[in-house]
Amino acid sequence: MASGNAIRGSRVGAGPMGEAERGESAPRIRISFWCSNGHETQPSFAGDAQVPETWDCPRCGFPAGKDRDSPPDPPRTEPYKTHLAYVRERRSDADGEAILAEALAKLRGEI
């Protein structure tokens, strides 16, 4: 037996909606973008919107351009660097030896 709730399973404002209730939709344009892997994506933009030069490919994530024959290059990924790798870029081995000797002298109470 059904309970007394007549609108069960529906939401407020539910019902058939047509263009008359929603208003006119804005004119749209579809632009094709291609990535370096050859994937094509066609996002839609408002007719008066400024279309960007690049768009991220939803399949591979690479940047995609409007020119099919020369898409943008994929981003160059650099491997993760440790803190020690950054220190070695800034200091030579001689600098490291001098800093270590100074720190050891301080620990031994010589300074």
- Distance (Å, whole) CA 42 – CA 86: 42
- Does the annotation place 35 within a ligand binding site? yes
User: Is 39 labelled a binding residue?
Assistant: yes
Q: Is 57 annotated as a binding residue?
A: yes
Q: Where are the extended beta strands (E) located within 1-111?
A: 28-30, 33-35, 40-41, 44-46, 54-56, 63-65
Residue 40 labeled ligand binder: no
What are the binding residues? 35, 39, 57, 60
What are the binding residues for Zn(2+)? 35, 39, 57, 60
